[in-house]
Structure 1
């Protein structure tokens, strides 16, 4: 059971890292400002997911120490903020693209 959760978390970490990298390159290569903003928002969402997955790995799969729990909680808050900001920016830039 624990090993299955480990595999799922590590696969999620790899997928979110690759998505963050791809959207980062697309954002930097795009000449259109709206597309750059959309790619940047998707990168923020991917990075937020990556930070939350890292926090879950830190908190649940290793032996608990207070420092590990504090760092995991910090990663979780930072990841949630990145996801929130990415969703907000994505909605703003998609409205700009549609209008």
Structure 2
């Protein structure tokens, strides 16, 4: 059972890293400001999910020392903030693009 959880967490980490990289390149290459903002927002969301997955890996896969739990909690808070900011920016730039 723990092997399955590890595989799922590592697969989520790889997927979120690749999507973060793709949206970062698209954001930097885009000429339109609205599209640049949308890609940057999607990059924030994928980076937030990457940080949360890293925190889950840190907390649940390895042995539980207090330092690992504290660092995992910090990654989780930072990841949640990135996801929140990405969703907020995505809604703002999608409205701007629609106009």
**Deviation at residue 80 of structure 1 after TM alignment:** 0.1
CA distance in 2, matches of 1:95, 1:15: 27
Superposition pairs of residues 1-99 of structure 1, within 5 angstroms: 1-99=1-99
Q: Give ranges in structure 1 of 5+ residues lacking alignment.
A: none
CA distance in 2, matches of 1:50, 1:64: 20
Q: Deviations over 1:6-55 (max 9, x none)?
A: 00000000000000000000000001000000000000000000000000
- TM-score under structure 1 length normalisation: 0.99
Q: Deviations over 1:29-87 (max 9, x none)?
A: 00100000000000000000000000000000000101000000000000000000000
In angstroms, what is the RMSD of aligned CA positions? Answer: 0.3
How many residues are matched?
99
- TM-score under structure 2 length normalisation: 0.99
